[in-house]
Amino acid sequence: MSPPALRVLQVAAEAAPLLKTGGLADVMGALPAALRGQGADVRLLLPGFASVLDSLSFSTDVTTVTPPWGGSSRLMAGRFDALGGIEAYVIRDDAMFQRAGGPYADARGQPWADNHRRFALLSLAALRVSTGGDVGWQPQVAHGHDWHAGLMPSYLHHDAHARRAGVRSVFTVHNLAYQGLFDADAFSDLGLLPGAWGIDGVEFHGKVSFMKAALRDADAVTTVSPRYAQEVLGADQGAGLQGVLAARADGVHGILNGVDASVWNPATDVHLAKTFSADRMAGKRDCKAALQRAVGLDVDAEALLFGVVSRLTEQKGLHLVQALVPDMLARGGQLVVLGSGDASMEQAFAAMAQAHPGRIAFRIGFDEPLAHRIYAGIDVVMVPSRFEPCGLTQLYGLAYGALPLVHRVGGLADTVVDASLENLQDGSATGFVFHEFSLDAAQHALRRAFALRDRPVWWRCVRATAMQRRFGWDVAAREYMALYRRLLRVNFDA
Ligand code: ADP
């Protein structure tokens, strides 16, 4: 008889396709099903945003959660058919989660003033599920993602019932730069013991830090690439928390994200003008022409077409892309940018597109189908991030035959191999990698892209290698399962 399935609760703020603002959603859209594929009994807990509730089928009320600041919220159970039928919990509180604007900020981009309560509620719901809130199911491992679920490990750590039940907590850092920092007076809302305040608790330079709470109290901390797991231990990338991370006896585990091939596969992608694959590349030419037409670029098969699909933030290093534009254009290239965020960056890309009609196109906003068409139509995807925990856009570029041009940092360094002569010779090259974060270094990578383009046989070889690289979620899921099993063997109270 096979052993009973390991019960895992996944806790996050977003999951594609229900709700997406970035890579976290892609991960949460794929990881639960991948873990199920490894034999786990997985449930996913999300906040009750409108699009999440709309996607919950067979919903029933399980219990209520009563937060320290008063009132009562409904814990619902059901199933997300859009996520392969994953069993789910949703913490429903319409006053908290059903608001005009974004999940984290209002329509003007101002973070919601009660974000500490909104996301403490998510963690309180996880605690409730973990401590008998649902008589039919209780996790052995509760796995939270990013600061939105940051208090969950602390609630579990300090809860006698959870400790008796031996529930283990895992916390994954998708981006250490977003920490969930709140004014000190938020602390009294959170229901933590007074001893949790202070340098040995959730306090971070006089503020409450949800991220720090998780890094201290989780039974295991992971991040989304091996290289980033190393980088966060240093001052440069540790965002002030490197000491907290270094103090963890078990370190930080780096588990690389995967690509969900049911969503990101040029052979089956419903958004594309034509599908294609490594051994049937004709469709990519049609995708390029269709993209050029759709965004108002000159339809030109020969122009090397560069693309960016990104949040427009300082992290993404896009000022380098802007600085590369004159060189790119002088060499006959084109550029398409899809993104939104920083107002000055939006203005700069808009001005460039206006100054170079037919050569540069800028689409502002968040547009999932267009993102797919861009990866399929472009020749080079640009990801020159200052730092990058994993990065999914370069992985999508690889899968769609758009060679990534990247800064050698974090997950970008782990997943892209530079088209240097020696890497071309041994057949490992998949893109263009620059080491130093400087315009000069990026410019050399750009020149390598044009040089490779002028050797079409080589280009096709590199592209085929890129498209054949597999970043399967099954690999990541196996690593998470091994970690969960290890944790369940450890007696933390001994
Ligand atoms: P991050 O999570 O830091 O934003 P990732 O590379 O991990 O970066 O993931 C970004 C995800 O968001 C990818 O799926 C990418 O295609 C998507 N994305 C980013 N900006 C946009 C946009 N403007 N429109 C559509 N998708 C976008």
- Assigned token pair, 344: 């000055």
Each residue of 216-252: pLDDT tens digit? Answer: 999 999 999 999 999 999 999 999 999 999 999 898 9
Each residue of 92-140: pLDDT tens digit? Answer: 999 999 999 999 999 888 999 999 999 999 999 999 999 999 999 999 9
Helix locations, 296-436, DSSP H: 318-330, 343-355, 368-377, 393-399, 410-415, 421-425
pLDDT at 493 exceeding the cut of 60: no
Number of neighbouring beta carbons within 10 Å of residue 166: 14
Ligand 1 center–CA 28 separation, angstroms:
14
Q: Distance (Å, rounded) from C-alpha 115 to C-alpha 346?
A: 26
User: What backbone torsions phi and psi does residue 225 show, to the nearest 5 degrees?
Assistant: -160, 150
Each residue of 340-391: pLDDT tens digit? Answer: 999 999 999 999 999 999 999 999 999 999 999 999 999 999 999 999 999 9
Residue 249's pLDDT is: 83
pLDDT at 494 exceeding the cut of 70: no
Mean pLDDT, rounded, for 289-318:
97
Mean pLDDT over each residue of the chain, to the nearest integer? 96
Helix locations, 224-281, DSSP H: 226-231, 242-246
The closest residue, in CA terms, to atom 18 on ligand 1 is: 310
Ligand 1 center–CA 86 separation, angstroms:
23
Ligand 1 lining (C-beta closer than 6 Å): 22-24, 26, 309-311, 338-340, 366-368, 371, 390-393
The closest residue, in CA terms, to atom 17 on ligand 1 is: 22
* Strand order across the beta sheet in which 56-65 lies: 56-65, 73-80, 86-92, 41-47, 7-11, 141-145, 168-173, 220-223, 252-254
Each residue of 444-466: pLDDT tens digit? Answer: 999 999 999 999 999 999 999 99
pTM over 0.75: yes
Q: Are 37 and 69 in contact (CB under 8 A)?
A: no
User: What backbone torsions phi and psi does residue 457 show, to the nearest 5 degrees?
Assistant: -65, -45
Unique residue bearing structure tokens 């039919």: 136
Mean pLDDT, rounded, for 71-88:
97
Out of 20, 311, 349, mutate this one to test ligand 1's pocket (max ligand atoms within 8 Å of CB): namely 311
- Assigned token pair, 81: 């058919």
Q: Distance (Å, rounded) from C-alpha 15 to C-alpha 46?
A: 8
pLDDT above 90: percentage of residues in the chain: 96
Residue 251's pLDDT is: 87
Q: What is the DSSP letter of 254?
A: E
Residue 2's pLDDT is: 72
Q: Distance (Å, rounded) from C-alpha 90 to C-alpha 82?
A: 15
Which of 401, 377, 396, 371 is CA-nearest to residue 285? 377
Q: Distance (Å, rounded) from C-alpha 406 to C-alpha 356?
A: 24
Residue 77's pLDDT is: 98
Q: Distance (Å, rounded) from C-alpha 459 to C-alpha 449?
A: 9
Residue spans of beta strands (DSSP E) within 24-104: 41-47, 56-65, 73-80, 86-92
Q: Distance (Å, rounded) from C-alpha 236 to C-alpha 245?
A: 14
Q: Distance (Å, rounded) from C-alpha 142 to C-alpha 147?
A: 15
Q: Distance (Å, rounded) from C-alpha 147 to C-alpha 119?
A: 8
Out of 392, 398, 414, 415, mutate this one to test ligand 1's pocket (max ligand atoms within 8 Å of CB): namely 392
Residue 262's pLDDT is: 94
Mean pLDDT, rounded, for 190-210:
94
Unique residue bearing structure tokens 């046989």: 457
Q: Distance (Å, rounded) from C-alpha 350 to C-alpha 364?
A: 9
